Structure 1
Amino acid sequence: MALMSRVGKRLRRIIQRPASVELTRYEALLPAVEKREPELEKLSDPELTEAAAALRESMRDGSFGDAELVELCALGREAARRGLGERAFDVQLLGTMGLLTGHVVQMQTGEGKTLAGALAAAGYALQGKRVHVISVNDYLARRDAEWMRPVYDLLGVSVGWVEPALDTEERRAAYAAEVCYGAVSEVGFDVLRDRLVTDIADLVQPEPEVAIVDEADSVLVDEARVPLVMAGSVDAGIADTEVANIVRRLRLGLHYETDPDGRNVWLTSAGASVVEKALGGIDLYGEDGSERLAAVNVALHAHALLTRDVDYLVRDGKVQLINASRGRVAELQRWPDGLQAAVEAKEQLAPSDHGEILDSITVQALIARYPQVAGMTGTAVAVAEQLREFYRLEVAVIPPNTPNVREDAPDRIYASPGHKLRAIVEEIREVHDSGRPILVGTQDVAESEELADKLAKAGLPCVVLNARNDAEEAAIIAEAGTYQRITVSTQMAGRGTDIRLGGADGGDRERVAELGGLHVIGTARYPSSRLDDQLRGRAGRQGDPGSSVFFASLNDELVLANAPDVPEGIEADPESGEITDPAAQRQINHAQRVAEGVDLEIHRNTWRYTRLIEHQRAELLTWRDEVLRTEKAKELLAEAEPTRVTELTEALGAEKVARVCREIMLFHLDQLWADHLAFLTDVRETIHLRAMAREQPLDEFHRAAIPEFHKIRGEAEKRSAKTLVEAEITGEGIDLAAAGVRRPTSTWTYLVQDNPFDSDAEQALKKVRGLLRKKRS
């Protein structure tokens, strides 16, 4: 009978949760954890910390068997009860065990991922390992570190966090803690900064050991398509205001066209004539016009494809990018220089500094630095295959502590966005009149503000959460469950704050629960079903009542970009514009699957190309580290220029000469690596032309990249020797700046589209192939 029960349970798991690991082994340990509770409750706080120290001692060899899992969970449950006033549920302890055994655990919204992650981090720390808890934003990193500190203190584990405001010493102290919380971008940029130091004392990060990734699907999948790129200032930027003013007057359909998915834009013959005349009669497509053509193309991209309040904000006289996957301002991020300057010219702002790329790292490569990785999120099963393919991680689905009773209504589909918007306002009015709190998830800043304006005119006051006020997000979300509250928000994935019925203090909980709980409305389906589920999951927290409904239109951006060929015969109600034909729902589902497929292919393409770059970077960093930590540079330069090194040693002393040699060689090594990255970017931008010659683009990329890389080390030594000879000795020592050894005065990050097959020429090539196929058929 017991065997049949186990078989039935396993079959249910396979059917309901494909790609998830078996939890039976961990569930069997829960009674032993509960059995330890009465004993641990009798201990004083110092005795509890001593018990944790004893566990630390028993795991000095790094082992983590069943007995250690039981003891850690029992100690963690008691520490949470004392430090937070919360007794960890069995499902939270299951999550902790899943994390400690290297899985991505899926736990529903409101089920206590933060505590499960903290107990797992403490467990790894007690094993003697340094742990980074990686989140999607700086706010969550700081909040979780401060919130969980009492638990860590009771277990005798030190904790810190990193955020943009910290200086170098504060960062070093944070990373020195056994557990350090940080946003994926902040941790990544510290890795890049450490790769540019010229003195070992300036390093802030120790060698990585364990990463626990919060909102793992968002960090490991959504963020993985956009590399973290460090750039340094070279000189003041120059804006082509003349071209910006000309492009501003051009009209879509007459002077330029865009492709259906809004990725590319080009001048029509009429547009080219207008631009050529306005620029003094030049030939844009002749040899002399190529430079102006590049400026026109980038200005046209800024004008036609980048929209204010959707792709970026203008705040405090600066262009601030919006991270589409989070609906937040992307701090210290910008587009590559030409495009950044074009957007600034479009908005009539002063140009920011021009820069060069110093180094970059993909999220995938960042995570690959950690020998052990685990993660947690509310929606992992949907990307289980990607987590396995790119990170070799398996998903463990943790059942909810209390059953989910949220009611998810079918999508309501309309013929046009106008009909849909009217229906959304009416839905909000009806639900608001009942007193239920409402959370509305929009696609971008512009839509959130348009809806807020419509609601205000309808006498329905709301609170808006978007990239303009994301600093206030915790307070806004915490009160979103208040009686009669209407909250309009952009992307909810990764916001990380629970919506409690009745508000932050839960004072009106029973009243709101009796009315039906939180009602969630999506104004359109997102490009990923996971993002839909993240929004839906804000209602029905920990067994609360709640409901959700998505509104959609066959003219939504998702459908137009991914499945524009809507089947014929779909009719809408002439008055309301609502469509009840099942074919419309199938079309929207199809569009979402296409969007998910495109994103997956971009991720795959990014990794195919960056895998070689990461291998080259690792090889170069090994050499750079030797130069940084030893007197290798002085030895090499003494071989190349023995007379000069002897002369300088007599004038400055051996120690100072070693430092000078190190600085010179690291400068040239870093400069050559930056040049190599620029070369690889150029190769990738033209690699699609190889396909026309029936060559494999990836093979050709490797063929071009490998010989160039092998030249770097020899060239660095040659340039360093030349600099050492040419540098002047002054009363202050050796004048490196006069010899051209200058480090950037400031750094920032780039937001880049890293799809090597998404250039104008590749798109055109696809269209030509499509036409040829049609002709052949």
Structure 2
Amino acid sequence: MALRDRLRRLLRRPGTVDLRPLQAAVAEAGAREPEVRALSDEALTSAARALSEGGPDSSDGRPGSDATAHFLAVAREAARRTLGERPYDVQLLGTLGLLSGHVVEMATGEGKTLAGALAAAGYALRGKRVHVMSVNDYLARRDAEWMGPLYAMLGVTAAWVGQSSTPDERRRAYAADVAYAPVSEIGFDLLRDRLATDPADLVLPEPDVALIDEADSVLVDEARVPLVLAGAADTAAADAGYAELVRRLRPGLHYTADEEARNVQLTAAGARAVEQALGGIDLYAPEHLDALTAVNVALHAEVLLQRDVDYIVRDGAVKLVSASRGRVALLQRWPDGLQAAVEAKEALEASPSGEILDSITVQELVGRYPVRCGMTGTARAVADQLREFYDLEIAVIPPNRPCVRVDEPDRLYATAADKEVAIVDEIAAAHAAGRPVLVGTLDIAESERLARRLDRAGLPCVVLNAKNDAEEAAIIARAGAPGAITVSTQMAGRGTDIRLGGGAPPAGASPAPPPEADRDRVAGLGGLLVIGTGRHPSSRLDDQLRGRAGRQGDPGGSVFFASLEDDLVARYAPEESYDGPVAPDGRVDAKGAHWIVEHAQRVAEGVDLEIHRNTWRYHHLIGLQRREILAERDAVLHGDAADRLLADLRPERHARLVEEAGPEQTAAAARQIMLFHLDRCWAEHLAFLADLREGIHLRSLGRGLDPLVEFNREAVPAGKRLLRRARDRAADAFDALKVADGGIDLPGAELTRPSATWTYVVHDNPFGSLDERAFRGLVAMFRRTRRTTR
């Protein structure tokens, strides 16, 4: 076994981090427990503070046996006294995995939140400032307040940041040893800091340690999602007339939709109909490019984006739904043209758009931190991406109690209709026995359709999806009760903890644990039964859903139903077909048929990885260019770089201004002018790059060229000119400065910044940007070629 482990580590396979040194430290901590338990509260806090002098680690940053064991013993006792929870050995093992800079994989119900808090305290006692990144405001506040007493006993300060936090509240929170915050809020604070014109306005300190909850979701699913800071600008909303125009077009006649590539385009007849409706124009003439773009965007919004699948309408606004979480994606929106088109489609008031002043992807944001670690229940499936993009390894932590969940093989059906009948029959059988059932659906529309079908069959159920997310805690608290049927989207697939017999986990104010009789009854029936109504595009989402059952050694079961008509197969394996035997109830048992579904999921994961890799290549170049601008900006903001630069570029004007207004006012004016033009040129450069990236493919693919090479061919020279252009503009503005009443007239220098700014997340284009669609098209072409050569 030891030789096998060494070979696995040599090959760097997922989950091959050697846990033996960590286990030795945990064992030593256990031996010290009686000694530490005898300490008073004051003495325990003093012992923790004493650790901060040397740190709970050895000098090389790896766990050192003596100091680390003492830290673990002190931290375990502090948790027992303040939270009423004595961390298991496996939780301490997870803590050490985090302190070693790994992503730790811990199963559902194994106590990741407490393990993460102990690791954050460990880093803080080393003198590191820790940002615990969560996925939303609720979790940031909940975990900070829940773990607050633990931090206090360890002599560590902790705070949290939410969407409604004021700048002063944010500064105080980030000044704490441990700050909990949604990853998006940290990114937005960074973007706002990059437009600060006074060092006193800065909010974020220098990055140190990022500890990421739900690490696979943040680091992979959201890695390429841009966080955006926008400013007020004169931008036109989508014309509602285009939405009405495309609504009258007929599929097949006026447009064709490519379901595989998620694209839609006008036919010749459709183009003629649109041209006639727009007054007989030539839609493809250069002067009508804006009209062509508006029609295409409206057509995409009408045909390819589905209400209650891709988005919901709530409180008079379009709310996007996260595909990986099934929740409303707070603050997210599509790129402005598409967002406005969907709002026009739904006859809603257009939301503000504006000019993008700066943006950063989650991957870039996390990459700023010298130390990165995280925790999740499903990391091994994305081990290659974590290693490639973040240089992170995975430490797989064994469960405190062995998992006894029974995971049945998939049940495959020839048609979607046969599959739905089988799902209802399975739910009915479990309900009749009194066994609780959690049904995981792929989207909101499916959850509501299944609920109606269950209601007609006399099977009462509760639906949990993005439309009623406010009721999530109450619904989950009852999901493990005898006979309960809960139909949910992916909301219940991540971050929820369902207790057998009913009752919610002890995370703050929650219902009392279920009566022991109910728990025993459900356990005797086999525990919670999880039913998946189809395979997700990512196997991690399947595993997250499956993990709702079998927590901490509880009995449980899971089974996934699939059909050869599922969207996954239609999109990612359209060339595959099955013509073998089918049972009377529509069930298909042939291995070849099951292979088709598995193949489709592998292709989906491969496409996603390649899109992630391709997106990173673009953003990497943009990041390098941003770094050069930021270095100049920091030198201007925190020093006299602008004053010296403009004195060199315009020596006579500089000398005159110093004589008339004094050196301090001249230096202050130079700083504001230089900051303004650096920010202005960067915003213009971002707009240029966005247009370039979308348009480059039309030229490069037509000539058989590499889009990335063509992008770089224009983007690199443009980036090299950027700093010089900003300096030249600043010098011209400096030349034009006027002195009035002994002072410099800055308002007259036209340094007008946006009257308002706001932040949001640009959701991935649901059809993919042109490069993504092109990639999927190439994959489809390869499949067709391979099929014809068989």
TM-score, reference length from structure 1: 0.93
Higher deviation after alignment, 388-397 or 22-31: 22-31
Higher deviation after alignment, 418-427 or 145-154: 418-427
Match of 1:51 among 47, 52, 71: 47
* Matched ranges for 1:618-697 at <5 A: 618-642=627-651, 645=654, 654-688=663-697, 689-693=699-703, 695-697=705-707
Counterpart residue number, 2:506 = none
Counterpart residue number, 1:573 = 583
- Displacement of 1:760: 6.3
Which amino acid in 2 is paired with 1:742? Answer: R
CA distance in 1, matches of 2:468, 2:601: 29
Match of 2:570 among 537, 540, 560: 560
SS of the residue 2:305 aligns to: coil
Indicate the RMSD between aligned Cα atoms, in angstroms: 2.8
Counterpart residue number, 2:598 = 589
SS of the residue 1:111 aligns to: coil
- Displacement of 1:676: 1.4
* Matched ranges for 1:315-394 at <5 A: 315-394=314-393
String of CA shifts for 1:738-767, please: whole Å, max 9, x gaps: 715223502132425376653667777888
CA distance in 1, matches of 2:475, 2:120: 29
Counterpart residue number, 1:39 = 35
Higher deviation after alignment, 610-619 or 586-595: 610-619
Higher deviation after alignment, 130-139 or 341-350: 130-139
Q: Does 1:506 align with 2:524?
A: no
Counterpart residue number, 1:747 = 758
Which amino acid in 2 is paired with 1:587? Answer: I
CA distance in 1, matches of 2:253, 2:705: 38
- Displacement of 1:638: 3.7
Which amino acid in 2 is paired with 1:375? Answer: G
Q: CA contact under 8 A between 1:200 and 1:629: conserved in structure 2?
A: yes
Higher deviation after alignment, 685-694 or 181-190: 685-694
Aligned pair in 2 of structure 1 residues 271, 392: CA closer, same or farther (>3 Å)?
same
Counterpart residue number, 1:269 = 268
SS of the residue 1:28 aligns to: helix
CA distance in 1, matches of 2:98, 2:28: 19
Aligned pair in 2 of structure 1 residues 766, 9: CA closer, same or farther (>3 Å)?
closer
Q: CA contact under 8 A between 2:673 and 2:751: conserved in structure 1?
A: no
- Displacement of 1:511: 2.3
Q: CA contact under 8 A between 1:214 and 1:375: conserved in structure 2?
A: yes
CA distance in 1, matches of 2:347, 2:739: 46
Which amino acid in 2 is paired with 1:506? Answer: P
CA distance in 2, matches of 1:28, 1:763: 49
CA distance in 2, matches of 1:542, 1:377: 16
Q: Does 1:701 align with 2:711?
A: yes
SS of the residue 2:490 aligns to: coil
- Displacement of 1:163: 1.4
Q: CA contact under 8 A between 2:643 and 2:671: conserved in structure 1?
A: yes
Counterpart residue number, 1:535 = 545
- Displacement of 1:18: 4.7
SS of the residue 1:758 aligns to: helix
String of CA shifts for 1:131-174, please: whole Å, max 9, x gaps: 11112222222211111111111111111122111111111111
Q: CA contact under 8 A between 1:235 and 1:354: conserved in structure 2?
A: no
Aligned pair in 2 of structure 1 residues 464, 373: CA closer, same or farther (>3 Å)?
same
Aligned pair in 2 of structure 1 residues 65, 82: CA closer, same or farther (>3 Å)?
same
Tell me the number of residue pairs that the alignment of Structure 1 and Structure 2 aligns. 772
- Displacement of 1:50: 0.1
Aligned pair in 2 of structure 1 residues 14, 587: CA closer, same or farther (>3 Å)?
farther
String of CA shifts for 1:646-705, please: whole Å, max 9, x gaps: 665677665444333322221211121121122222222233333554544333322322
CA distance in 2, matches of 1:511, 1:47: 45
CA distance in 1, matches of 2:86, 2:467: 37
Aligned pair in 2 of structure 1 residues 311, 736: CA closer, same or farther (>3 Å)?
farther
Structure 2: state its 5+ residue gaps: 504-512
Q: CA contact under 8 A between 2:463 and 2:488: conserved in structure 1?
A: yes
Aligned pair in 2 of structure 1 residues 461, 237: CA closer, same or farther (>3 Å)?
farther
Q: CA contact under 8 A between 2:434 and 2:483: conserved in structure 1?
A: yes
- Displacement of 1:727: 5.7
Q: CA contact under 8 A between 1:567 and 1:583: conserved in structure 2?
A: no
* Matched ranges for 1:148-547 at <5 A: 148-235=147-234, 237-261=236-260, 263-492=262-491, 495-504=494-503, 505-507=513-515, 508-547=518-557
String of CA shifts for 1:381-417, please: whole Å, max 9, x gaps: 1111221111111111111111111011111222222
Aligned pair in 2 of structure 1 residues 652, 165: CA closer, same or farther (>3 Å)?
farther
Counterpart residue number, 1:139 = 138
Match of 1:23 among 13, 19, 34: 19
Q: CA contact under 8 A between 1:492 and 1:535: conserved in structure 2?
A: no
SS of the residue 1:33 aligns to: helix
SS of the residue 1:165 aligns to: coil
Aligned pair in 2 of structure 1 residues 468, 662: CA closer, same or farther (>3 Å)?
farther
- Displacement of 1:215: 1.3
Higher deviation after alignment, 463-472 or 761-770: 761-770
Which amino acid in 1 is paired with 2:392? Answer: L
Q: CA contact under 8 A between 2:106 and 2:398: conserved in structure 1?
A: yes
CA distance in 1, matches of 2:206, 2:595: 49
CA distance in 1, matches of 2:12, 2:195: 48
Aligned identity (percent) is 59
Aligned pair in 2 of structure 1 residues 469, 770: CA closer, same or farther (>3 Å)?
closer
SS of the residue 1:374 aligns to: strand
SS of the residue 1:520 aligns to: strand
Match of 1:715 among 715, 725, 729: 725
TM-score, reference length from structure 2: 0.92
- Displacement of 1:286: 2.5
Structure 1: state its 5+ residue gaps: none
Higher deviation after alignment, 386-395 or 421-430: 421-430
Which amino acid in 2 is paired with 1:745? Answer: A
Q: CA contact under 8 A between 2:669 and 2:744: conserved in structure 1?
A: no
CA distance in 1, matches of 2:751, 2:180: 39
Counterpart residue number, 2:70 = 71
Aligned pair in 2 of structure 1 residues 267, 100: CA closer, same or farther (>3 Å)?
same
Q: CA contact under 8 A between 1:606 and 1:756: conserved in structure 2?
A: no
CA distance in 2, matches of 1:741, 1:383: 46
Higher deviation after alignment, 530-539 or 177-186: 177-186
Higher deviation after alignment, 56-65 or 303-312: 56-65
Aligned pair in 2 of structure 1 residues 699, 730: CA closer, same or farther (>3 Å)?
same
Aligned pair in 2 of structure 1 residues 200, 524: CA closer, same or farther (>3 Å)?
same
Higher deviation after alignment, 86-95 or 439-448: 439-448
Q: CA contact under 8 A between 2:230 and 2:353: conserved in structure 1?
A: no
